[in-house]
Structure 1
Amino acid sequence: MRAALVLALVLAVSGSASAEPVTVVRNNGPATNRLNMVIMGDGYTAGGLSQFARDVDSVLAALFRDPPYSEYANYFNVLRVDVTSTEVGVSHPEVGRNIASALGAYYNCGGIQRLICINTSAVNAVLARSVPANQRDLVLVLVNDTEYGGSGGSIAVASTNFQSSELVLHEYGHTLGLLADEYTTQPPTCFNSVEPAEVNATRETSRSSIKWSAWIDAATPIPTTGNGAGIPGLYEGAKYCPAGLYRPTNDSKMRSLGRPFEQINSEQLILRYYNFVSPIDAVTPSETTLSRVCGERVSFLVEALRPRTHDLTIRWRVDGVVVSSAAALTLDTAGYRVGNHTVDVTVSDPTSAVRRDPALVLQDGRQWTLTVRAPASQGILGFPERGCGAAPLDPARH
């Protein structure tokens, strides 16, 4: 079955003759309910594509070792797109080195040496001819250059520097997590006169108004000082500003490579996973309006996603009453009166890594209308012999 899925995905991404070769690196389920990652390279010649494949494998191994990606690795599909350049490496205009790489990557973008920019039109052209639109939620370009550098934005970019895996994690913090940088060095320019849009930077100094107040212990002083690791508070200095903006922890991956994302950034990443993925993969029956004669049984099933170390919570309800927490549910309609009943299932992620989910993205549900019909043959005195009378029977006994 898995081999068939992989074959189907390979066929799906094989379009016209001009399309770049695409390899399925990770297939964890249907693209319609996975966070679909596409990785392509720039500055790799035809002879270097085997090295590109090894670079991708190395980055992915590190990515899915790092929390919270490690816990939700099954939520991701990954495609590798082999883009061929005519020369090795990319441009360094600051030293007069200009290379016409396939995706136009270059260092010193905007006068910031570590900032790598790319030709987004070239990237989008590759995507359009090689990868279906529903299989490219998150795009990463690996640049075949060992000098430290990268960028975030709609397309993440990272060099093959020895810190490339950490670079990818940091840049995905921007591209996927919509997180701000937490360091204070400039450029870019500091703007501390307005409240940042990102969840990990704020101007607020009132405890109750801080975006991540749910994570701050009542005994933690506001503002917060000290070098303690992983202690949420209000630490001055964020988003290129040494003063006037605050970050959630003393040090995180959005401030320094090699650090954990820490609580607030991890929470945001998990919420973003669920912006793309429902905790429900599939349900049966597929039809939402059902009709059964009193006494018949009807079976339901929900297929929930599986994080690495914890299970999602399942709740089945009939007419608002919880009847099961298993994946499968079989109802004996003899336990219910004739007429319409509502059957619904809710699947939610009980992770302690999320304390605030205002949009309720960590849960999803499905609902059915079940009509119980009177049997053609009634019991003695016209009443049914096994229920389906005027009042519902106790479902726990049926």
Structure 2
Amino acid sequence: MKSLVLFIIFITNSLLVSAQIFDVDTLLFSGNSEKRINLVVLSEGYQPDELGEFITHATSFKNSMFSQSPFLEYINYFNVFAIKIPSNESGADHPATATDVNESEITPTFVDTYFNATFDAFGYHRYIYYGIDYTDAASTEVKINSVLADNFPTYDQALILVNTTEYGGTGGKFPIASISSYDIAIHELGHSLFNLKDEYFLPDIYYAEAINMTQETNTSLIKWKNWIGTNGVDINPYGSSGVSATWYKPRHLQCKMELLNKPFCAVCKEGIIEKIHDLISPIDSYTPENITINTPSFPLDFQLNLIKTIPNSLESIWILNANNIDNNVDNISIEETDLKTGTNTLTAVINDATTSLRVDNHETLHVYTVTWSINYSTLGIETIVSDVNSFNMSVFPNPTNDVINFTLENTLDTPLKLEIISMDGKTIQSYNVTNSENLQIDMNTWSQGIYLAKVYANNDLIANKRIVKN
């Protein structure tokens, strides 16, 4: 999850700006920062005697964020910290230079703040940014990187909270928002951390293919095909004419990416959960790790410590020597009679079965495993060696009437096998797949209907996925 390259960039930037150490408060601690998404809130426009108010505001933002789905369910996957950075003056600049509204009656104001927060950025009245444009913001971005490098280099996302009750915010690498509504900050995080697009009418240059934005109108091909017809999801145009009429969103006026104080729509919620799975494995720890046993005793106990959702939607399958021995438990015990002479393989397969992901028709499937190799002889257990692996399986397009693509990735480069099974249980085709290989399968000669794709790692079935031939 943590990038060495980013860390090196932070260190380089810190050499350009004198190191400054600030107080860091913990607002939410769910566990080891190497195994959580670390959200860091930076103060802007708070004078030294106002930093207590900043912590109050940052805490209120945190409480608001984790009272809403899907963050409510996935709170255990996050840590939240606040860095108290004092400014010489309060608030943010308002130069009254916006071109989207008439600001002739507004008196320009300028204040001395640490990150140079300003309204009217890029000519838009409600855009608050750490510079009036990208050129102006470049030096501030160096300061932001330096503050993070010196105070919390293992962050995953930083958010700048500005001490003003005037409405404003922007996304980008470092989202920034006023305290007029904490939903602004949550909305901007939707852009920066989760790659969601705005769902309101936009200038032409901002339209692009994304999780919740597309030009596709075919209901069998559109990104959110798995949600159409439920929870109000459809194919809704952004506008009635011009470029906006050629772009589409899942819902109209019913998603936080369009209107504050609305929940995230089902499509955006699914995208957020997918990103969480991209960043974090649900396996927090496990026992035993690699050990040599001098005086083995039975039963042997194996345990998973999972980062559980609320309510828990994680499912687990325990497989010993290719045989399923238990499901949906965090620990099991192995007796001596369960083992064969030689190497035994015990695998725990974990996936998130939340109904907020429609896996059957969804492009990507995330699976996580812990595998123990148990060396057993007539003298007893000699060693137990363990490995953790993460698997991503992408299948597209699905449904299809000609060619379907499979990409299978795993962190340990484990050889994988893919089997295509018909609904009557017959094996149609079998493939040995290398890591990150894009496997194209020609389905032209197949009969229409539903097939099951089964993925095996070390002879253990780790994933099933339905595919459809039109």
Q: 1:295 to 1:33 in 2, by over 3 A?
A: closer
1:100 to 92, 112, 130: 112
* Higher-RCO chain (CA-CA 8 Å, sequence separation at least 6): 1
**1:295 touches 1:332 (CA, 8 Å); kept in 2?**
no
Q: Give the secondary-structure state (helix, strand or coil) at the position aligned to 1:22.
A: strand
Residue 302 (structure 2) pairs with residue 297 (structure 1):
no
**1:36 touches 1:137 (CA, 8 Å); kept in 2?**
yes
Q: Name the counterpart of 2:60.
A: 58
Residue 272 (structure 2) pairs with residue 274 (structure 1):
no
Tell me the alpha carbon deviations over residues 212-261 of structure 1, each in whole angstroms, 9 at most, x when there is no partner: 101113xx9xxxxxxxxx311101117x9531100011221111111111
Which amino acid is 2:179 matched to?
A: T
Tell me the alpha carbon deviations over residues 258-280 of structure 1, each in whole angstroms, 9 at most, x when there is no partner: 11111000000111111221111
The alpha carbon displacement at 1:84 in A equals 0.2
**2-side partners of 1:102 and 1:295: how far apart?**
62
**2:299 touches 2:334 (CA, 8 Å); kept in 1?**
yes
2:186 to 145, 169, 172: 169
Number of residue-to-residue matches in the alignment:
338
Tell me the alpha carbon deviations over residues 291-315 of structure 1, each in whole angstroms, 9 at most, x when there is no partner: 7999843221110112121241121
Tell me the alpha carbon deviations over residues 188-229 of structure 1, each in whole angstroms, 9 at most, x when there is no partner: 33566xxx2311011011111101101113xx9xxxxxxxxx
1:71 to 73, 84, 89: 73
**1-side partners of 2:293 and 2:321: how far apart?**
16
1:120 to 141, 147, 151: 141
Question: Structure 2, unaligned stretches of length 5 or more?
Answer: 1-17, 97-106, 131-139, 381-470
Residue 301 (structure 2) pairs with residue 283 (structure 1):
no
Which amino acid is 2:232 matched to?
A: I
**1:291 touches 1:371 (CA, 8 Å); kept in 2?**
no
1:139 to 148, 151, 158: 158
Which amino acid is 1:189 matched to?
A: D
Which amino acid is 1:350 matched to?
A: A
TM-score after normalising by structure 1: 0.80
**2-side partners of 1:310 and 1:297: how far apart?**
28
**1:147 touches 1:159 (CA, 8 Å); kept in 2?**
yes
**1:282 touches 1:303 (CA, 8 Å); kept in 2?**
yes
**1-side partners of 2:293 and 2:317: how far apart?**
22
Tell me the alpha carbon deviations over residues 346-394 of structure 1, each in whole angstroms, 9 at most, x when there is no partner: 1211100011454433x31111111210149xxxxxxxxxxxxxxxxxx
**2:91 touches 2:113 (CA, 8 Å); kept in 1?**
yes
2:365 to 342, 353, 360: 360
Q: Give the secondary-structure state (helix, strand or coil) at the position aligned to 1:142.
A: strand
Q: Name the counterpart of 1:226.
A: none
Choose 107-116 or 91-100, whichever is displaced more.
91-100
Residue 363 (structure 2) pairs with residue 373 (structure 1):
no
Q: Give the secondary-structure state (helix, strand or coil) at the position aligned to 1:207.
A: coil
**1-side partners of 2:64 and 2:243: how far apart?**
30
Q: Name the counterpart of 1:179.
A: 196
**2-side partners of 1:216 and 1:235: how far apart?**
11
**1:84 touches 1:102 (CA, 8 Å); kept in 2?**
yes
**1-side partners of 2:363 and 2:370: how far apart?**
20
1:84 to 83, 86, 97: 86
**2-side partners of 1:160 and 1:335: how far apart?**
60
Query: Percent identity at matched positions?
Result: 28
Question: Structure 1, unaligned stretches of length 5 or more?
Answer: 1-15, 221-229, 377-398
Q: 1:216 to 1:98 in 2, by over 3 A?
A: same
Q: 1:198 to 1:292 in 2, by over 3 A?
A: farther
**2:209 touches 2:215 (CA, 8 Å); kept in 1?**
no
Q: Name the counterpart of 2:233.
A: 232
Relative to its length, the structure with more strand (as a share) is 2
**2-side partners of 1:370 and 1:105: how far apart?**
58
Which amino acid is 2:128 matched to?
A: I
Which amino acid is 2:83 matched to?
A: V
**2-side partners of 1:180 and 1:83: how far apart?**
30
**1-side partners of 2:81 and 2:185: how far apart?**
16
Provide the aligned C-alpha RMSD in A: 2.2
